[in-house]
Structure formats: C-alpha cells, structure tokens
Amino acid sequence: MSNSRSLSAETHETAETATFLQDFLALIKIGIVNSNLITVFTGLWLAFQFSDRHFLQELDILVYTLVGSAFIIAGSAAMNNYIDTDIDPLMASKRARPTVTGRFKPSAVLALALTFMVIGEILLFSASVSAGVLGIAGILAYVVLYSMWSKRRHVSNTIVGSISGAIPPLIGWAAVEPALGLGAWALFLIMFIWQPPHFYALAMKRTEEYRAAGIPMLPVVKGFHRTKKSMLAWILLLFPLPFLLMDLGISFIILATLLNIGWLVLAIRGFNVKDDLKWAKTMFIYSLNYMTILFVSMIIFAVFV
C-alpha cells in the first residue's frame, strides 16, 4: 500500500513539474524566443564572416549575445502577457496562458519579466555597448510602443510591432561590429517587411477573437479584402532586399527571389479563394518556412563566400 501511495505521489509531482514547465515556456513565448534567436545568430554569424573574424576565438561574444538576447526576448514576452492579462481571457487561443489560468500571479510575472530583461541587458552590454543599446531599443519598441500603446489603439499596431521584431539581427551584428553596415540594415528591413504579411495571416485566422477583445487588427477594422491587398504590397517590397546582400553570392539571390515569387503567387491566389481562413493558414505556414529557410541559407552561404 505504501509503495502505491509513493508511486502516486511521484506521478502527481512529475505531472505538476511538467505543467509548471509548460506554463513557464508559454509565459516567455518560447516559440518566439527560438525564432528570434535564429535571426540574432544570423546577424552575429554574417558579421563574423564579413569582418574575417573567427567566432571560435570570440566565443564569449557569441555566448553573451545569444543568451542575453534570449533573456530580453523572454522577459519582453512575459511583460506582454502581464500587460494583456485583462484581454487574454476574451480570446479563446490565449485562455490557456498561465496569466489567465492563475498559475502565475501577476506580481510574479512582472518580477520575472523585469529580472530577465535586466540580466539580458547586462549580458548584451558585455558583448558590446551597441548590442546593449539595441537591446533596450527592442524592449521599448515591443513593450511600450506595441504592447502598451499601439496594440489597443491603432490599426497600424502590426507595423509598429514589426520594429521590435526586426531588431534582433541588428543586436547580433552589433555585438561583433558595432558600426552597423549595409548587411545589418538589410537583415533589419527583411525582418521588418516580412512581419506584416506574416501576422496579418494570423490575425485573419483570429479575427473574431481580436474583435471580441477590442483589438483593432487590420482584418477587424478593414476586412479581409483590404488585408489581402496589404499583404500583397508588403510581399512585393521584399523583392529588392536580397540584392542588398550581394556578398552572399548569386545562389542566395536566386533562392531568396524564388521564395519571394512563391509567396507572391500564393498572395495573388488569395483574391480568388473560397475559404479565406484556409488560405490564411497556408500563408502563415509559408511565412514561417520562408523566414527559416531564408535565414538558415544566409548562414550557409556566408561560409562559402
């Protein structure tokens, strides 16, 4: 009998531990942390390659930058959850967040968010002053400009939010080369312009949730047709950007252009589809693959140039 009770207690404890970990990862939005770290590393890697410096000789910079970036992104995400505690219960896709379920108290979330951001900034400033300053800019752009100001007030909230999402590759680059070159700004522009069509696709899928929460996302305010036109325009703006990275070679230019053409064709088809939500899901998935393939390819091509 005692053995069965012990086993039951261990099982319960394991389940509680798993749930806590899942809640913690949801709180810091681990998916966003991981995807942004890809762009941080790309900026870091390209700066090393283009300046003829070897990362193995400067592993401290690599560690400071990646870990520091992870902390400020996680902290900013937790702060976003803290700020949105009042509207998240109104959105079905966000009701499982630990800030909604009550698993994490608001005071604990705030303390964790601030602690993570401070630790992250200390690490980024250890890499370079420019990386630290850009880290602060990213935090302010996401927490203040997006989460606290534009998200609930302006239909342009997605564009404002794109500023913070485009800063991570600059942080990576600045850690190695504080004087940001053309390549660094090319990465910034690619990430900035990629985000609106990516998030508009997600917003289309969750239009009724955003409407219920009173968030003026483009599909809510302007409708699906206007959103599709905007997505098409942003995708067209991506076409010239690979040519700012000519140092990566013609093969990269061709690959990036093919990715842009594929996304453009998919966007044009959206004006004739019968199921808008199914199309939006396809656009969203394509955008994720687009970003991953493009930035991983930059890392690979940089080795051979």
Count of CB atoms situated within 10 Å of the CB of 241: 18
0.95 cut: is pTM over it? Answer: no
Count of CB atoms situated within 10 Å of the CB of 39: 27
Task: Kindly indicate the confidence band of residue 17, based on its pLDDT and cuts at 50, 70 and 90.
Answer: low
Mean pLDDT, rounded, for 262-278: 96
Task: Kindly indicate the confidence band of residue 19, based on its pLDDT and cuts at 50, 70 and 90.
Answer: confident
Which domains are seen in the chain, by residue range?
9-180 (1.10.357.140), 182-305 (1.20.120)
pLDDT score of 274 more than 50: yes
What pLDDT score does 16 carry?
Answer: 54
What pLDDT score does 207 carry?
Answer: 94
Q: Which of 7-21, 246-260, 291-305 has the lowest mean pLDDT?
A: 7-21
One-letter amino acid of 97? R
What pLDDT score does 20 carry?
Answer: 84
Q: Is 51 exposed, middle or buried (0-12, 13-18, 19+ CB in 10 A)?
A: exposed
pLDDT score of 10 more than 80: no
Task: Kindly indicate the confidence band of residue 192, based on its pLDDT and cuts at 50, 70 and 90.
Answer: very high
What pLDDT score does 70 carry?
Answer: 97
Q: What is the tens place of the pLDDT at every residue in 87-98?
A: 989 888 888 888
Which residue is listed with tokens 């999402």? 165
- How far is it, in rounded angstroms, from Cα 200 to Cα 184? 25
What pLDDT score does 57 carry?
Answer: 85
Are the beta carbons of 147 and 84 closer than 8 angstroms?
A: yes
pLDDT score of 71 more than 50: yes
Q: What is the tens place of the pLDDT at every residue in 114-169?
A: 999 999 999 999 999 999 999 999 999 999 999 999 999 999 999 999 999 999 99
What pLDDT score does 299 carry?
Answer: 95
Q: What is the tens place of the pLDDT at every residue in 39-69?
A: 999 999 999 998 888 878 889 999 999 999 9
Which residue is listed with tokens 């207690």? 9
What pLDDT score does 99 carry?
Answer: 87
What pLDDT score does 189 carry?
Answer: 97
- How far is it, in rounded angstroms, from Cα 54 to Cα 250? 24
Mean pLDDT, rounded, for 220-224: 96
Which residue is listed with tokens 């913070």? 164
Q: What is the tens place of the pLDDT at every residue in 231-264?
A: 999 999 999 999 999 999 999 999 999 999 999 9
User: Among positive and negative, which fits the CA dihedral 150, 263, 70, 164?
Assistant: negative
Are the beta carbons of 131 and 68 closer than 8 angstroms?
A: yes
Q: What is the mean pLDDT of the chain?
A: 91
